[in-house]
Amino acid sequence: MTSPPATSSDAPPHNDALINPRSDLANSIGWIVFGAAVLIGSVAMDRLEQQHINPYTIPGLLPALLGIAMILLGGILALRSWRRGKGQIAAAPATPDQREQQRRIWIVIASCTLYCVVLIGHGLPFWLASTVYVTGSILILQRLSRDAQTRRLSPMVVARALIIGLSAALITQVVFQDLFLVRLP
């Protein structure tokens, strides 16, 4: 005997009161800024005009559209937050779990920034910079795990992270340079 299919009434109720408007406003600003950075970066990309590439297949077209979408959706989130009264609800103090999540997010943001600002375009080949970034990210995030067993960095764990990092970097380089004709730094 099979159970009846789940209906929308089986889903847990959505409670907008649990969403903090201040948090939504801060997140919306972050999405708008990130979307603007993606849009600016895509406009600055090489257009490959010297290779007589169709303008609809330029490398920066999809990132530009995604940047515009992030800006628009960030604006909608900001508007929703503003309408719900961003100044009316006081920010609750963060729990230890929330502080740990925030710390992890800031570490990931810092590692991404380090990759973009320091590793890429400053002498290292793309595949090597990407290998260092992916391998380092795996090892750093593994060390931040809540599970004590997962935090241990054995030679096997380091070797696996290095293999994943090298594979990801080489596959990315081959796909973008040879398939999509995007010149990588």
58 conformational bin, left if phi > 0, alpha if psi -120 to 50, beta if neither: beta
Residue 60 belongs to domain spanning: 16-91
User: How far apart are alpha carbons 49 and 70 in whole angstroms?
Assistant: 27
The pLDDT profile of the chain, 185 residues, written as one tens digit per residue, is: 455 555 544 545 555 555 677 778 888 999 999 999 999 998 887 766 666 777 666 778 888 999 999 999 999 999 988 888 755 656 667 788 888 888 999 999 999 999 988 888 788 899 999 999 999 999 999 998 888 888 888 999 999 999 999 999 999 999 988 887 777 77
Decide: 6 and 49 in contact? Cβ < 8 Å: no
- Has residue 139 been placed in a domain? yes
User: How far apart are alpha carbons 178 and 107 in whole angstroms?
Assistant: 32
Q: Are residues 106 and 50 in the same domain?
A: no
Q: Are residues 87 and 98 in the same domain?
A: no
pTM of the model: 0.64
Q: Are residues 78 and 151 in the same domain?
A: no
Q: What share of the chain is helix, strand, coil (3-state, %, to 5)?
A: 70, 0, 30
- Work out the end-to-end distance of the chain between its first and last CA atoms, rounded to an integer number of angstroms: 59
